[in-house]
Amino acid sequence: MALFVIRFDNRDIGLSTKFEDTGLPDFLEINAAYSRGETPKVPYTLEELIPMEYNVVKCISIVSKLECTK
């Protein structure tokens, strides 16, 4: 059985797209918004990243048993 390590270069890290005009995230405000049941104001969400990364893995044919749930 072959094992693989996949290291993702997520957005705004490394050579990927930069969101410099948005500044650093205010994690206290993000958590407070979630506590109030609100959607925080962020440039992108984890829900947007998951399908992209799943498709990368699927394209390199190593997801025979991997399930992506939302």
Per-residue pLDDT of the chain (70 residues; tens, 9 = 90+): 677 777 766 666 666 666 677 777 889 999 999 999 998 988 777 777 778 777 777 777 665 555 544 4
Domain that holds residue 60: 1-69
Q: What is the pLDDT of residue 35?
A: 96
Cβ within 8 Å of residue 26, ≥6 positions away: none
Domain count, the chain: 1
* H helices present in the chain, as ranges: 27-35, 46-59
